[in-house]
Amino acid sequence: MSFGKFLLGALAAGGVAAVYFLKSRKPLNFDSYCEQCIERGKEQISPDAIKTAIVLTKDETGERVIPYLYSRYDDKTVKKKRISIYTFPMSLCPANVKESIEKGEYVIKTIEKE
């Protein structure tokens, strides 16, 4: 095997690794984070829920936000479930979102049963 082929192979492998890294990186954009929360949340909604809200709350440290599902059922019970997705830095949230989270929660989306 020649050095040129080895170098070409190494560059190709490095390029594939770089593309994979860039595609798998967590977005640092609040809007794309909310879209991902909605997608993941829709996957986790119980079919028995008549209304579901996807909300953000702050974590114990107050430095990151965590998404939750609040689902209401026919018998008037409400269940809270954490959406299985990574947390997001509070410092990257817009000012109105930070203010809402400091007061309690920020509602990303409300979904009603059809």
58-73: per-residue pLDDT in tens?
999 999 999 999 999 9
Residue-level pLDDT at 36: 94
Determine the Cα–Cα distance for residues 65 and 62; give it in Å rounded to an integer: 8
Q: Is 6 inside a domain boundary?
A: no
With beta carbons less than 8 A apart as the criterion, state whether 56 and 83 touch: no
Name the residue range of residue 103's domain: 27-112
Q: Is 1 inside a domain boundary?
A: no
Other beta carbons within 10 Å of 1: 6
Residue-level pLDDT at 49: 93
Q: Is 75 inside a domain boundary?
A: yes
Determine the Cα–Cα distance for residues 57 and 97; give it in Å rounded to an integer: 10
Ranges of the chain with pLDDT below 50: none
Residue-level pLDDT at 92: 93
Q: Is 45 inside a domain boundary?
A: yes
Q: Is 91 inside a domain boundary?
A: yes
Q: Is 16 inside a domain boundary?
A: no
Residue-level pLDDT at 50: 94
Domain count, the chain: 1
Residue-level pLDDT at 51: 95
